[in-house]
Structure 1
Amino acid sequence: MVLAKAKTQFVCQNCGYQTPRFLGRCPNCGEWNTLQEEVIAPTTPASKASSTLVSGAVSKPERLDAVSTKREPRVKTELAELNRVLGGGVVPGSLVLIGGDPGIGKSTLLLQVSGQLSQTGGTVLYVSGEESANQIKMRANRLSVSSEHLFIYPETDMGRIRANIDSMKPDYVVIDSVQTMSEPDITSAIGSVSQIRQVTAELMRIAKSQGITIFVVGHVTKGGAIAGPKILEHMVDTVLYFEGDLHHTYRILRAVKNRFGSTNELGIFEMQENGLKEVTNPSEIFLEERLKDATGSAIVVSMEGTRPILVEIQALLTPSVFGNAQRTASGVDRNRVSLIMAVLEKRANLLLQNQDAYLKAAGGVKLDEPAIDLALAISIASSYRDTGTDPSECYVGEIGLTGEVRRVNRIEDRVSEAHKLGFKRIYIPKNNLKDWTPPTGIEVIGVATIGQALKQILA
């Protein structure tokens, strides 16, 4: 009897590209030394069979007008910030992927949420492939998490995990992390593209067929993206990124994909000794250390999903020592900074080509909406002229290449948030004043061009 020779292929661990021979550089993503050899498992009729994503044996075609359109039920946690990011609460039967840097607090967040969900009467199975039960228990004691409906299961074999889920039938499952889980039928190494793809597919089948909510922790690469093939993010229902600086206590939970809610929502937490505490008024955090008479400072009312947040934008301009001026930005897009400086030089007659510019959004938040343009321009001009801005003013507006200040959305919410925090004056696009009555207690000034804005603000 002649045994069939085992076939191998080389798979890129960064993007999932497959090739029959080894290459030093992946032709798809361009990364070096990411191709690893994997054995192709022989296909069997069982492995070729596809699994259904609905309860029951086999799914059938159904007329569109006969499909039920009832709204997904929501289970609210005690963390209102998490509920907001998820779109109103946890959706039963959903698959949620949470990524973040090592040590940022992903396991802490999920252990706290597991304890809260188990208090509502649901059964939670916490599967850990990185820590022992003793380590998880010590963290639970520190977080004051205790419930008879919360079960800890240190395991990496998906066959055993699947068997325990079938026997326990929990309402919620936490997988920490997907890179440590292994499918026994896959011969490649743990954490490889094939393993991650197969494990995620199995978790999705369990979530959809049994109505179990599954939270999955994902490691991130040096570039900040979740490790593994991009298909990992396409398969799940929700992708959350847990961001923050290890040297600061504040953490930001951001949704980049959500089939059950907005992808622009943002939740802010503070890491304390006894766990994560939600921050209900983040604007105060971003403004509390602002100097009164500082130059190069401007306050912008930015929208993060449905929430307006006031953030301080700081700029520092110094004469360039070398031939080419530098443009450095933190928390704002560097290309946007270069664009605004070009508009200021052409439309406002500011000689900025020989100035090094350093800009940042205070507090570690990332701003990427067009409405921050006016505040960027004011901070740059303030630093260039060495003239301070009024600490009771804030600025909102998009700037076009011809120097016009263009209208922005949600202007009523932005003005109301500035008024609530005690600001006396806000500059907005002139066209946003149409068909709208500003609230009393705050002066709303409309500006049409960047030149007009600079004359009024930095006079």
Structure 2
Amino acid sequence: MAKPRSEYVCQSCGSVFPKWAGRCEACGAWNTLVEELSGGTGTPGGLGARPKARGKGRRVSFVGLKGEGATVARWVSGIAEFDRVTGGGLVPGSAVLVGGDPGIGKSTLLLQAAAALASNSGRPCAYVSGEEAIDQVRLRAERLGVTDAPVELASATSVRDLLDALDRPDGEGPGVVVIDSIQTMFVDTLESAPGTVAQVRASAQELIRLAKARGFVLLLVGHVTKEGMIAGPKVLEHMVDAVLTFEGERGHQFRILRTTKNRFGPTDEIGVFEMTERGLLEVANPSALFLAERRGEVSGASVFAGLEGTRPVLVEIQALVAPSSLGTPRRAVVGWDSGRLAMVLAVLEARCGLTFAGQDVYLNVAGGLRISEPAADLAVAAALVSALVDRPVPAEAVVFGEIGLAGEVRAVSQADQRLKEAAKLGFERAFMPPRRGKAGKAAPAEGALEILEIGHLQDLVETLSTVSPDAPMRRQA
């Protein structure tokens, strides 16, 4: 029998090296190489020796794209925000990875989802905790009021033991299995510690294989690094069918479940929850929640009509411009891209003649939501100009549009949905890009809105500098 040899695996990217080094040559990370024992004298880059061939393999049969079987029905939990993010429910045999910061509420969310799925599907769900004892999970279930749900609890970390317990005949096993967390699981054929790249990859592979063979839904909880990325090898995100991230600020009660990958539904979909003493409560109208504490006639604030997945969301963007005593003024951003802010400031200075030199600039997206779409450029510019000239943006106006480097305002997608959401919440005005061609036709909800089409950023600066917040606006052709 070949003697096992040592390999050094990067905990950041999973690359394998024959000897230790302080810096990974593949990803450039420092002090991430950890010694692991391979199963034999295989070549570098593998976990062990390649097994010898044992005769011919079995012939693989190919089938057509159109099948004769019935469409697989999704399992709906009844939690509307959770079902929205998963694309309308969970697909049997799928694997879902849920990541988030420590203490953000991942275990609470999945315990509530498991209890709801077990009650609606008629099949029991299994909740496996590798971090807590059974009594600790029961305390959480009692606080959430789900003790009567048919959920089976277990505290285990060995993948071999879990496979023996979950490998039951079809129809007799659990419908949903929650693993909290995948970083605590280990395969006893590897000598490395739980949480290492090799263990996370091997544990996930074995669990996903059984889930697809037996048809149960596998929900994996994943830890995140200090940069907010899911810990472990990147291949883990490729192995699963959906990746959900649970976001939120400790100072806010709002929690956002966001889809970053979904093979069975749209991506970038969000579900909004509110953290309470009784657990997570779904928020049916997040726009009204994000704007609940908004004050009207305040300079440096604008309402952005955004789009998260297929859902229009209205959120307040706040800006503060103050004189700086530093040689290099500060640029602080919360909830938006700092590079995008630098670009908007440069366009305002170069194309509109405004001066932000010697001024500290602070930008905040109220409510803890993080915005990534370029359509927020015009709303950010409106808040910055309003703070600089100390004139409020019209209180009943929404703003959206993308800004180019020449100062032009470009059209964005789904403008009709944004306007409909604004009209539904009682807004009366809209600053938006010009609409041309077929996109220039009026949407059904536009009759309730006065629309000012902004073709260049200079038009916005002149409007905010001269027009009274209560003055009627004309609609441009």
TM-score category of the 2 structures, normalised to the smaller one: over 0.9
Residues 391 and 464 in structure 2, CA contact (< 8 A), matched pair in contact too? no
Aligned to 1:403: 407
1:36 matched to 2:34? The reply is: yes
Q: Could you tell which deviates more after superposition, 73-82 or 449-458?
A: 449-458
Inter-partner Cα distance in structure 1 for 2:366 and 2:313: 12
Q: Which amino acid is the alignment partner of residue 33 of structure 1?
A: N
CA shift in 2, pair 1:25/1:210, >3 Å? same
Cα drift, residue 66 of structure 1: 5.0
Cα drift, residue 148 of structure 1: 6.1
Unaligned runs of 5+ in 2: 41-47, 467-477
Aligned to 1:90: 90
The count of residues paired between Structure 1 and Structure 2 equals: 450
Inter-partner Cα distance in structure 2 for 1:297 and 1:68: 56
1:15 matched to 2:39? The reply is: no
Cα drift, residue 420 of structure 1: 0.8
Q: Could you tell which deviates more after superposition, 81-90 or 279-288?
A: 279-288
Cα drift, residue 248 of structure 1: 2.0
1:196 matched to 2:200? The reply is: yes
Inter-partner Cα distance in structure 2 for 1:255 and 1:59: 38
Aligned to 2:323: 319
Aligned to 2:341: 337
Q: Secondary structure at the match of 1:451?
A: helix
Residues 119 and 147 in structure 1, CA contact (< 8 A), matched pair in contact too? no
Cα drift, residue 59 of structure 1: 8.1
Residues 95 and 204 in structure 1, CA contact (< 8 A), matched pair in contact too? yes
Encode CA deviations 1:331-385: one digit per residue, 9 max, x unaligned: 1111111111111112211012332211111111111111111111111111111
Aligned to 2:24: 26
CA shift in 2, pair 1:110/1:316, >3 Å? same
Inter-partner Cα distance in structure 2 for 1:83 and 1:72: 16
Residues 406 and 431 in structure 1, CA contact (< 8 A), matched pair in contact too? no
The 5-angstrom pairing of residues 250-329 of structure 1 reads 250-329=254-333
Aligned to 2:472: none
1:435 matched to 2:433? The reply is: no
Cα drift, residue 220 of structure 1: 0.8
The 5-angstrom pairing of residues 347-426 of structure 1 reads 347-426=351-430
Cα drift, residue 287 of structure 1: 1.3
Q: Which amino acid is the alignment partner of residue 78 of structure 2?
A: E
1:159 matched to 2:165? The reply is: no
Inter-partner Cα distance in structure 1 for 2:71 and 2:435: 38
Q: Secondary structure at the match of 2:463?
A: helix
Q: Which amino acid is the alignment partner of residue 34 of structure 2?
A: Q
Q: Percent identity?
A: 44
Encode CA deviations 1:130-170: one digit per residue, 9 max, x unaligned: 11111111111111113463110111111110011013521
Cα drift, residue 45 of structure 1: 8.3
Inter-partner Cα distance in structure 2 for 1:442 and 1:448: 18
Inter-partner Cα distance in structure 1 for 2:138 and 2:272: 26
Q: Secondary structure at the match of 1:322?
A: coil
Encode CA deviations 1:73-125: one digit per residue, 9 max, x unaligned: 21111210111110111111100000111111111111111111111201211
Cα drift, residue 47 of structure 1: 10
Q: Which amino acid is the alignment partner of residue 184 of structure 1?
A: D
TM-score by length of 1: 0.93
Aligned to 1:446: 453
CA shift in 2, pair 1:182/1:47, >3 Å? farther
Q: Secondary structure at the match of 1:431?
A: coil
Unaligned runs of 5+ in 1: 50-56
Encode CA deviations 1:177-225: one digit per residue, 9 max, x unaligned: 1011111111111111111000111111112111110000011111111
Residues 316 and 365 in structure 2, CA contact (< 8 A), matched pair in contact too? yes
Aligned to 1:54: none
Inter-partner Cα distance in structure 1 for 2:242 and 2:2: 42
Q: Which amino acid is the alignment partner of residue 105 of structure 1?
A: G
Cα drift, residue 289 of structure 1: 1.6
Inter-partner Cα distance in structure 1 for 2:371 and 2:204: 32
Residues 41 and 187 in structure 1, CA contact (< 8 A), matched pair in contact too? no
Aligned to 1:53: none
Q: Which amino acid is the alignment partner of residue 81 of structure 2?
A: E
Q: Secondary structure at the match of 1:383?
A: helix
TM-score by length of 2: 0.90
Inter-partner Cα distance in structure 2 for 1:163 and 1:230: 28
